[in-house]
Homo-oligomer: A and B are copies of this chain.
Amino acid sequence: MAAKPCIPKGTRDFSPAEMAKRNYIFDTIRSVYHLYGFRQIETPAMEMLSTLMGKYGEEGDKLLFKIQNSGDYFSGLTDEELLSRNASKLACKFCEKGLRYDLTVPFARYVVMHREELTFPFKRYQIQPVWRADRPQKGRYREFYQCDADVVGSDSLLNEVELMQIVDTVFSRFGIRVCIKINNRKILTGMAEIIGEADRIVDITVAIDKLDKIGLDNVNAELRDKGISEEAIAKLQPIILLNGTNEEKLATLRQVLADSATGLKGVEETEFILSTLAGLGLKNELELDLTLARGLNYYTGAIFEVKALDVQIGSITGGGRYDNLTGVFGMAGVSGVGISFGADRIFDVLNQLDLYPKEAVNGTQLLFINFGEREAAFSMQVLVKARMAGIRAELYPDCCKMKKQMSYANANGVPYVALVGENEINEGKVTLKNMETGEQRLVAPDELIAELKK
Protein backbone atom coordinates (compact mmCIF):
# COMPACT_ATOMS: atom_id res chain seq x y z
CA MET A 1 0.00 0.00 0.00
CA ALA A 2 1.18 3.50 -0.76
CA ALA A 3 2.57 5.59 2.09
CA LYS A 4 0.11 8.00 3.64
CA PRO A 5 0.56 11.28 1.82
CA CYS A 6 1.46 14.52 3.61
CA ILE A 7 2.03 18.17 2.74
CA PRO A 8 5.25 20.18 3.09
CA LYS A 9 5.76 21.45 6.62
CA GLY A 10 4.61 24.98 7.23
CA THR A 11 1.92 24.73 4.53
CA ARG A 12 -1.81 24.20 4.99
CA ASP A 13 -4.90 22.78 3.36
CA PHE A 14 -7.97 24.96 3.76
CA SER A 15 -11.26 23.17 4.33
CA PRO A 16 -14.59 24.46 2.98
CA ALA A 17 -15.43 25.99 6.37
CA GLU A 18 -12.05 27.72 6.55
CA MET A 19 -12.31 28.88 2.95
CA ALA A 20 -15.71 30.46 3.58
CA LYS A 21 -14.18 32.45 6.43
CA ARG A 22 -11.09 33.37 4.49
CA ASN A 23 -13.19 34.50 1.54
CA TYR A 24 -15.23 36.65 3.89
CA ILE A 25 -11.99 38.31 5.05
CA PHE A 26 -10.58 38.80 1.56
CA ASP A 27 -13.90 39.94 0.09
CA THR A 28 -14.38 42.50 2.85
CA ILE A 29 -10.90 43.94 2.37
CA ARG A 30 -11.27 43.84 -1.41
CA SER A 31 -14.58 45.66 -1.41
CA VAL A 32 -13.20 48.42 0.81
CA TYR A 33 -10.14 48.76 -1.43
CA HIS A 34 -12.55 49.18 -4.37
CA LEU A 35 -14.51 51.87 -2.52
CA TYR A 36 -11.31 53.87 -2.30
CA GLY A 37 -10.36 53.41 -5.94
CA PHE A 38 -7.64 50.81 -5.53
CA ARG A 39 -7.27 48.43 -8.46
CA GLN A 40 -6.11 44.85 -8.30
CA ILE A 41 -3.06 43.39 -9.97
CA GLU A 42 -1.54 39.92 -9.84
CA THR A 43 2.04 38.94 -10.44
CA PRO A 44 3.49 35.46 -11.06
CA ALA A 45 4.29 33.18 -8.13
CA MET A 46 7.76 32.80 -9.59
CA GLU A 47 10.08 35.74 -10.06
CA MET A 48 13.62 35.75 -11.43
CA LEU A 49 16.09 35.29 -8.58
CA SER A 50 17.83 38.40 -9.92
CA THR A 51 14.65 40.31 -8.99
CA LEU A 52 14.42 38.81 -5.51
CA MET A 53 18.00 38.38 -4.29
CA GLY A 54 19.52 41.14 -2.19
CA LYS A 55 16.17 42.76 -1.44
CA TYR A 56 15.48 41.15 1.94
CA GLY A 57 18.96 41.13 3.49
CA GLU A 58 21.28 38.15 3.71
CA GLU A 59 18.83 36.24 5.90
CA GLY A 60 16.04 36.84 3.40
CA ASP A 61 18.11 35.45 0.52
CA LYS A 62 18.40 32.20 2.47
CA LEU A 63 14.66 32.08 3.07
CA LEU A 64 13.77 32.28 -0.61
CA PHE A 65 12.33 29.10 -2.10
CA LYS A 66 14.41 28.50 -5.22
CA ILE A 67 13.15 26.60 -8.24
CA GLN A 68 15.47 24.25 -10.03
CA ASN A 69 16.04 25.05 -13.69
CA SER A 70 14.38 22.69 -16.13
CA GLY A 71 16.55 20.52 -18.31
CA ASP A 72 20.26 20.17 -17.67
CA TYR A 73 20.92 22.47 -14.78
CA PHE A 74 24.52 21.21 -14.54
CA SER A 75 25.63 22.77 -17.79
CA GLY A 76 28.65 25.03 -17.48
CA LEU A 77 29.56 23.75 -14.02
CA THR A 78 33.08 22.43 -13.49
CA ASP A 79 33.76 19.31 -11.42
CA GLU A 80 35.52 21.53 -8.93
CA GLU A 81 32.51 23.80 -8.50
CA LEU A 82 30.25 20.82 -8.03
CA LEU A 83 32.48 19.13 -5.50
CA SER A 84 32.79 22.37 -3.54
CA ARG A 85 29.26 21.52 -2.33
CA ASN A 86 28.74 25.23 -1.73
CA ALA A 87 24.98 25.03 -1.32
CA SER A 88 24.13 28.71 -1.50
CA LYS A 89 26.54 29.50 -4.34
CA LEU A 90 25.45 26.52 -6.41
CA ALA A 91 21.78 27.29 -5.75
CA CYS A 92 22.21 30.32 -7.99
CA LYS A 93 23.67 28.09 -10.70
CA PHE A 94 21.00 25.42 -10.41
CA CYS A 95 18.16 27.92 -10.07
CA GLU A 96 17.26 31.15 -11.83
CA LYS A 97 13.76 31.48 -10.38
CA GLY A 98 12.31 31.73 -6.89
CA LEU A 99 8.91 32.01 -5.26
CA ARG A 100 7.89 35.52 -4.28
CA TYR A 101 8.77 36.42 -0.71
CA ASP A 102 6.44 39.39 -0.34
CA LEU A 103 4.23 41.53 -2.57
CA THR A 104 6.33 44.70 -2.40
CA VAL A 105 9.32 43.67 -4.51
CA PRO A 106 7.11 42.13 -7.24
CA PHE A 107 5.05 45.34 -7.16
CA ALA A 108 8.18 47.47 -7.58
CA ARG A 109 9.23 45.20 -10.46
CA TYR A 110 5.73 45.53 -11.94
CA VAL A 111 5.82 49.34 -11.77
CA VAL A 112 9.19 49.43 -13.53
CA MET A 113 8.21 46.94 -16.23
CA HIS A 114 4.86 48.60 -16.93
CA ARG A 115 5.80 52.24 -16.34
CA GLU A 116 4.74 53.21 -19.85
CA GLU A 117 1.21 51.85 -19.42
CA LEU A 118 0.61 53.18 -15.93
CA THR A 119 -1.00 56.48 -14.96
CA PHE A 120 0.36 57.90 -11.71
CA PRO A 121 -0.65 58.09 -8.94
CA PHE A 122 -1.11 54.35 -9.25
CA LYS A 123 -3.33 52.85 -6.56
CA ARG A 124 -2.92 49.10 -6.62
CA TYR A 125 -3.93 46.30 -4.34
CA GLN A 126 -2.77 42.73 -4.45
CA ILE A 127 -3.97 39.67 -2.53
CA GLN A 128 -1.74 36.68 -3.17
CA PRO A 129 0.26 34.07 -1.28
CA VAL A 130 3.93 34.50 -0.49
CA TRP A 131 6.47 31.84 0.48
CA ARG A 132 9.25 31.91 3.04
CA ALA A 133 11.49 29.02 4.06
CA ASP A 134 11.27 30.17 7.68
CA ARG A 135 11.26 27.66 10.50
CA PRO A 136 7.53 26.93 10.89
CA GLN A 137 5.99 27.61 14.30
CA LYS A 138 2.63 28.46 15.80
CA GLY A 139 1.10 31.20 13.66
CA ARG A 140 4.04 31.28 11.27
CA TYR A 141 3.68 29.50 7.96
CA ARG A 142 5.84 28.92 4.90
CA GLU A 143 2.93 29.84 2.65
CA PHE A 144 0.61 32.67 3.64
CA TYR A 145 -1.43 35.40 2.00
CA GLN A 146 -0.64 39.08 2.03
CA CYS A 147 -3.27 41.75 1.25
CA ASP A 148 -1.42 44.90 0.30
CA ALA A 149 -2.59 48.26 -0.96
CA ASP A 150 -0.17 50.96 -2.06
CA VAL A 151 -0.36 54.37 -3.71
CA VAL A 152 2.76 55.22 -5.64
CA GLY A 153 3.68 58.40 -7.43
CA SER A 154 2.04 60.83 -5.00
CA ASP A 155 3.59 62.61 -2.03
CA SER A 156 0.27 63.89 -0.72
CA LEU A 157 -0.54 63.07 2.89
CA LEU A 158 -4.14 62.58 1.82
CA ASN A 159 -3.01 59.10 0.80
CA GLU A 160 -2.03 58.38 4.41
CA VAL A 161 -5.41 59.74 5.48
CA GLU A 162 -7.26 57.47 3.06
CA LEU A 163 -5.31 54.42 4.12
CA MET A 164 -6.31 55.08 7.74
CA GLN A 165 -9.93 55.44 6.62
CA ILE A 166 -9.59 52.07 4.87
CA VAL A 167 -8.19 50.46 8.01
CA ASP A 168 -11.01 51.95 10.07
CA THR A 169 -13.69 50.84 7.59
CA VAL A 170 -12.34 47.30 7.25
CA PHE A 171 -12.17 46.67 10.98
CA SER A 172 -15.56 48.31 11.55
CA ARG A 173 -17.03 45.92 8.98
CA PHE A 174 -15.37 43.01 10.73
CA GLY A 175 -16.67 44.25 14.08
CA ILE A 176 -13.13 44.15 15.50
CA ARG A 177 -12.36 47.06 17.84
CA VAL A 178 -8.84 48.28 17.16
CA CYS A 179 -6.35 50.94 18.09
CA ILE A 180 -4.60 52.43 15.07
CA LYS A 181 -1.10 53.42 16.11
CA ILE A 182 0.73 56.02 14.12
CA ASN A 183 4.26 57.33 14.18
CA ASN A 184 6.61 59.03 11.76
CA ARG A 185 10.11 58.09 10.82
CA LYS A 186 11.01 61.79 10.65
CA ILE A 187 10.08 62.22 14.33
CA LEU A 188 12.40 59.34 15.19
CA THR A 189 15.13 60.85 13.05
CA GLY A 190 14.57 64.18 14.82
CA MET A 191 14.93 62.48 18.20
CA ALA A 192 18.19 60.90 17.09
CA GLU A 193 19.42 64.27 15.84
CA ILE A 194 18.75 66.24 18.99
CA ILE A 195 20.41 63.69 21.22
CA GLY A 196 23.25 63.05 18.77
CA GLU A 197 22.66 59.31 18.68
CA ALA A 198 21.43 58.85 15.12
CA ASP A 199 22.12 55.13 14.93
CA ARG A 200 20.61 54.17 18.29
CA ILE A 201 16.97 54.80 17.46
CA VAL A 202 15.97 51.15 17.69
CA ASP A 203 17.62 50.69 21.11
CA ILE A 204 15.88 53.83 22.29
CA THR A 205 12.39 52.91 21.09
CA VAL A 206 12.75 49.39 22.50
CA ALA A 207 13.64 50.84 25.90
CA ILE A 208 10.87 53.47 25.80
CA ASP A 209 8.37 50.77 24.94
CA LYS A 210 9.01 49.16 28.33
CA LEU A 211 7.98 52.20 30.39
CA ASP A 212 4.62 50.76 31.45
CA LYS A 213 6.16 47.45 32.44
CA ILE A 214 9.40 48.40 34.17
CA GLY A 215 9.03 52.09 35.11
CA LEU A 216 11.08 55.18 34.31
CA ASP A 217 14.14 54.36 36.41
CA ASN A 218 14.62 51.01 34.75
CA VAL A 219 14.09 52.49 31.29
CA ASN A 220 16.80 55.03 31.98
CA ALA A 221 19.05 52.31 33.37
CA GLU A 222 18.57 50.31 30.20
CA LEU A 223 19.41 53.32 28.06
CA ARG A 224 22.58 53.82 30.12
CA ASP A 225 23.43 50.12 29.62
CA LYS A 226 23.07 50.58 25.89
CA GLY A 227 25.66 53.34 26.08
CA ILE A 228 23.39 56.33 25.61
CA SER A 229 24.99 59.40 27.19
CA GLU A 230 23.56 61.06 30.34
CA GLU A 231 22.98 64.24 28.36
CA ALA A 232 21.00 62.36 25.74
CA ILE A 233 18.99 60.54 28.40
CA ALA A 234 18.14 63.87 30.00
CA LYS A 235 16.92 65.21 26.69
CA LEU A 236 14.86 62.07 26.15
CA GLN A 237 12.92 62.39 29.42
CA PRO A 238 9.97 64.38 27.99
CA ILE A 239 9.73 61.86 25.18
CA ILE A 240 9.87 58.83 27.45
CA LEU A 241 7.18 60.33 29.64
CA LEU A 242 5.14 61.51 26.67
CA ASN A 243 1.46 61.04 27.37
CA GLY A 244 -1.93 62.65 27.15
CA THR A 245 -3.93 63.21 23.99
CA ASN A 246 -2.33 63.09 20.58
CA GLU A 247 -2.49 66.92 20.53
CA GLU A 248 -0.64 67.13 23.84
CA LYS A 249 1.99 64.68 22.63
CA LEU A 250 2.48 66.68 19.45
CA ALA A 251 2.81 69.92 21.44
CA THR A 252 5.53 68.37 23.63
CA LEU A 253 7.33 66.97 20.58
CA ARG A 254 7.25 70.33 18.87
CA GLN A 255 9.16 71.79 21.79
CA VAL A 256 11.61 68.94 22.22
CA LEU A 257 12.35 68.72 18.51
CA ALA A 258 12.55 72.49 18.01
CA ASP A 259 16.14 72.23 16.76
CA SER A 260 15.51 69.47 14.23
CA ALA A 261 13.97 70.54 10.92
CA THR A 262 13.32 66.90 10.05
CA GLY A 263 11.72 66.22 13.44
CA LEU A 264 9.42 69.20 13.08
CA LYS A 265 8.44 68.07 9.60
CA GLY A 266 7.46 64.72 11.11
CA VAL A 267 5.37 66.46 13.77
CA GLU A 268 3.68 68.57 11.12
CA GLU A 269 2.88 65.57 8.93
CA THR A 270 1.46 63.64 11.85
CA GLU A 271 -0.60 66.63 12.91
CA PHE A 272 -2.04 66.98 9.41
CA ILE A 273 -2.96 63.30 9.21
CA LEU A 274 -4.55 63.23 12.66
CA SER A 275 -6.43 66.50 12.34
CA THR A 276 -7.77 65.62 8.89
CA LEU A 277 -8.94 62.24 10.17
CA ALA A 278 -10.55 63.88 13.20
CA GLY A 279 -13.23 65.38 10.95
CA LEU A 280 -14.00 62.18 9.07
CA GLY A 281 -15.91 60.20 11.69
CA LEU A 282 -13.56 57.27 12.24
CA LYS A 283 -14.98 54.59 14.50
CA ASN A 284 -11.66 53.49 15.98
CA GLU A 285 -9.13 55.32 18.09
CA LEU A 286 -5.91 56.70 16.62
CA GLU A 287 -2.88 56.92 18.87
CA LEU A 288 0.45 58.56 18.30
CA ASP A 289 2.95 55.96 19.52
CA LEU A 290 6.64 56.82 19.36
CA THR A 291 7.68 53.25 20.07
CA LEU A 292 6.38 52.20 16.69
CA ALA A 293 9.48 51.67 14.59
CA ARG A 294 8.61 48.83 12.23
CA GLY A 295 10.74 48.39 9.14
CA LEU A 296 12.73 51.40 10.17
CA ASN A 297 15.17 51.14 7.30
CA TYR A 298 12.39 50.99 4.82
CA TYR A 299 9.93 53.66 5.90
CA THR A 300 10.67 57.36 5.49
CA GLY A 301 7.48 59.08 6.71
CA ALA A 302 4.33 57.92 8.43
CA ILE A 303 4.37 54.48 10.05
CA PHE A 304 1.18 52.66 11.12
CA GLU A 305 0.26 49.55 12.97
CA VAL A 306 -3.08 48.18 14.13
CA LYS A 307 -3.69 46.34 17.39
CA ALA A 308 -6.87 44.46 18.25
CA LEU A 309 -8.31 45.72 21.54
CA ASP A 310 -10.12 42.58 22.63
CA VAL A 311 -7.61 39.86 21.77
CA GLN A 312 -4.00 39.38 22.81
CA ILE A 313 -2.22 39.16 19.49
CA GLY A 314 0.53 41.01 17.64
CA SER A 315 -0.06 43.68 15.05
CA ILE A 316 -2.86 42.73 12.63
CA THR A 317 -2.15 45.39 10.00
CA GLY A 318 0.78 47.66 9.29
CA GLY A 319 2.29 49.99 6.77
CA GLY A 320 3.91 53.30 6.09
CA ARG A 321 5.46 55.69 3.61
CA TYR A 322 8.63 54.86 1.76
CA ASP A 323 10.82 56.63 -0.76
CA ASN A 324 12.36 55.22 -3.83
CA LEU A 325 10.39 51.98 -4.17
CA THR A 326 11.83 51.21 -7.57
CA GLY A 327 15.33 52.66 -7.33
CA VAL A 328 16.84 49.21 -7.06
CA PHE A 329 15.42 48.46 -10.54
CA GLY A 330 16.79 51.66 -12.01
CA MET A 331 13.68 53.86 -11.83
CA ALA A 332 14.20 56.73 -9.41
CA GLY A 333 11.75 59.09 -7.75
CA VAL A 334 8.82 56.74 -7.12
CA SER A 335 7.71 57.17 -3.54
CA GLY A 336 4.61 55.68 -2.06
CA VAL A 337 2.65 54.67 0.96
CA GLY A 338 1.03 51.34 1.67
CA ILE A 339 -0.69 49.04 4.11
CA SER A 340 -0.82 45.30 4.52
CA PHE A 341 -3.58 43.39 6.31
CA GLY A 342 -2.48 40.29 8.17
CA ALA A 343 -5.10 37.82 6.99
CA ASP A 344 -3.99 34.90 9.18
CA ARG A 345 -4.12 36.93 12.37
CA ILE A 346 -7.42 38.55 11.42
CA PHE A 347 -8.74 35.01 10.85
CA ASP A 348 -7.71 34.09 14.41
CA VAL A 349 -9.18 37.28 15.91
CA LEU A 350 -12.53 36.78 14.17
CA ASN A 351 -12.55 33.17 15.39
CA GLN A 352 -11.73 34.07 18.97
CA LEU A 353 -14.36 36.79 19.10
CA ASP A 354 -16.84 34.67 17.13
CA LEU A 355 -17.50 37.54 14.75
CA TYR A 356 -18.11 35.72 11.47
CA PRO A 357 -21.52 36.70 10.17
CA LYS A 358 -23.79 33.74 9.48
CA GLU A 359 -24.15 34.71 5.82
CA ALA A 360 -20.38 34.56 5.41
CA VAL A 361 -20.48 30.81 5.69
CA ASN A 362 -22.15 30.47 2.34
CA GLY A 363 -22.97 26.79 2.29
CA THR A 364 -25.99 25.04 0.88
CA GLN A 365 -29.30 26.48 2.09
CA LEU A 366 -31.58 23.66 1.01
CA LEU A 367 -31.14 19.93 0.50
CA PHE A 368 -33.68 17.76 -1.30
CA ILE A 369 -33.79 14.24 0.10
CA ASN A 370 -33.64 11.64 -2.68
CA PHE A 371 -36.48 9.09 -2.40
CA GLY A 372 -36.14 7.59 -5.88
CA GLU A 373 -36.07 8.37 -9.55
CA ARG A 374 -39.54 9.87 -9.89
CA GLU A 375 -39.20 11.97 -6.74
CA ALA A 376 -35.76 13.12 -7.85
CA ALA A 377 -37.13 14.18 -11.23
CA PHE A 378 -39.81 16.27 -9.51
CA SER A 379 -37.25 17.72 -7.11
CA MET A 380 -34.98 18.76 -9.93
CA GLN A 381 -37.75 20.87 -11.44
CA VAL A 382 -38.15 22.73 -8.16
CA LEU A 383 -34.38 23.01 -7.88
CA VAL A 384 -34.14 24.77 -11.23
CA LYS A 385 -36.52 27.44 -9.96
CA ALA A 386 -34.88 27.75 -6.55
CA ARG A 387 -31.43 28.21 -8.09
CA MET A 388 -32.78 30.75 -10.54
CA ALA A 389 -33.94 32.67 -7.49
CA GLY A 390 -30.37 32.52 -6.18
CA ILE A 391 -30.90 29.82 -3.55
CA ARG A 392 -27.93 27.52 -3.00
CA ALA A 393 -29.57 24.12 -3.19
CA GLU A 394 -28.76 20.46 -3.74
CA LEU A 395 -30.45 17.16 -4.36
CA TYR A 396 -28.77 14.26 -2.56
CA PRO A 397 -27.47 12.34 -5.58
CA ASP A 398 -28.11 8.80 -4.34
CA CYS A 399 -31.35 7.22 -3.22
CA CYS A 400 -30.00 5.78 0.01
CA LYS A 401 -31.21 5.54 3.61
CA MET A 402 -32.82 8.74 4.81
CA LYS A 403 -30.63 8.70 7.92
CA LYS A 404 -27.51 8.95 5.79
CA GLN A 405 -28.99 11.80 3.79
CA MET A 406 -29.97 13.68 6.95
CA SER A 407 -26.45 13.20 8.36
CA TYR A 408 -25.14 14.81 5.19
CA ALA A 409 -27.43 17.79 5.78
CA ASN A 410 -26.26 18.06 9.37
CA ALA A 411 -22.56 17.63 8.59
CA ASN A 412 -22.77 20.41 6.01
CA GLY A 413 -24.86 22.70 8.22
CA VAL A 414 -27.76 22.82 5.75
CA PRO A 415 -30.59 24.81 7.43
CA TYR A 416 -33.54 23.48 5.33
CA VAL A 417 -34.37 20.06 3.99
CA ALA A 418 -37.04 19.37 1.35
CA LEU A 419 -38.92 16.07 1.35
CA VAL A 420 -40.70 14.94 -1.80
CA GLY A 421 -42.80 11.75 -1.79
CA GLU A 422 -45.84 10.61 -3.70
CA ASN A 423 -48.21 12.97 -1.83
CA GLU A 424 -46.04 15.95 -2.55
CA ILE A 425 -45.76 15.08 -6.24
CA ASN A 426 -49.54 14.70 -6.52
CA GLU A 427 -50.10 18.07 -4.89
CA GLY A 428 -47.21 19.72 -6.73
CA LYS A 429 -45.76 20.74 -3.40
CA VAL A 430 -42.77 20.06 -1.16
CA THR A 431 -42.49 19.31 2.56
CA LEU A 432 -40.03 21.86 3.90
CA LYS A 433 -38.27 21.03 7.14
CA ASN A 434 -36.50 23.65 9.21
CA MET A 435 -33.51 21.77 10.58
CA GLU A 436 -33.08 24.09 13.53
CA THR A 437 -36.64 24.08 14.85
CA GLY A 438 -37.64 20.69 13.43
CA GLU A 439 -40.81 22.33 12.09
CA GLN A 440 -42.24 20.85 8.88
CA ARG A 441 -44.80 22.22 6.48
CA LEU A 442 -46.16 21.54 3.03
CA VAL A 443 -45.42 24.43 0.67
CA ALA A 444 -45.73 25.23 -3.00
CA PRO A 445 -42.44 25.89 -4.83
CA ASP A 446 -43.05 29.65 -4.75
CA GLU A 447 -43.60 29.59 -1.00
CA LEU A 448 -40.47 27.54 -0.56
CA ILE A 449 -38.48 30.14 -2.46
CA ALA A 450 -40.04 32.98 -0.47
CA GLU A 451 -39.26 31.20 2.82
CA LEU A 452 -35.65 30.59 1.82
CA LYS A 453 -35.16 34.13 0.57
CA LYS A 454 -36.25 35.58 3.94
Query: Within residues 90 to 120 of chain A, which ones have a CB less than 8 A from any CB in chain B?
Result: 91, 94-97, 99, 109-110, 112-114, 117, 119
* Chain B residue, CB-CB nearest to A394: B37
Cross-chain contact B398 with A121 (CB below 8 angstroms): yes
- B-facing mask of A27-56, CB < 8 A → 1, else 0? 000000011110111111111101100000
A357 to B66, CA, bound (A): 40
- B-facing mask of A158-172, CB < 8 A → 1, else 0? 110110010001000
Query: Given A85-B74, A380-B280, A381-B279, A13 and B1 touching (CB < 8 A)?
Result: no
A11 within 8 A of B: yes
* Chain B residue, CB-CB nearest to A407: B119
A residues contacting the other copy or chain, number (CB 8 A) = 113
Copy tally for this chain in the complex stands at: 2
Q: Which residues of B contact A329 (CB under 8 A)?
A: 2, 4-5
Majority secondary structure, A binding face: mixed
A298 within 8 A of B: no
Query: Within residues 48 to 79 of chain A, which ones have a CB less than 8 A from any CB in chain B?
Result: 48, 50-51, 62-63, 65-68, 70-74, 79
A328 within 8 A of B: yes
- B-facing mask of A387-415, CB < 8 A → 1, else 0? 10011111111110000000110011000
A102 to B298, CA, bound (A): 38
Cross-chain contact B19 with A397 (CB below 8 angstroms): no
A450 within 8 A of B: no
A376 within 8 A of B: yes
A309 within 8 A of B: no
Query: Within residues 350 to 374 of chain A, which ones have a CB less than 8 A from any CB in chain B?
Result: 362-364, 367, 370
Q: Which residues of B contact A261 (CB under 8 A)?
A: none
9 contacting pairs across A/B (C-beta < 8 A): A4-B329, A11-B44, A37-B367, A37-B392, A72-B85, A73-B91, A82-B83, A159-B397, A279-B380
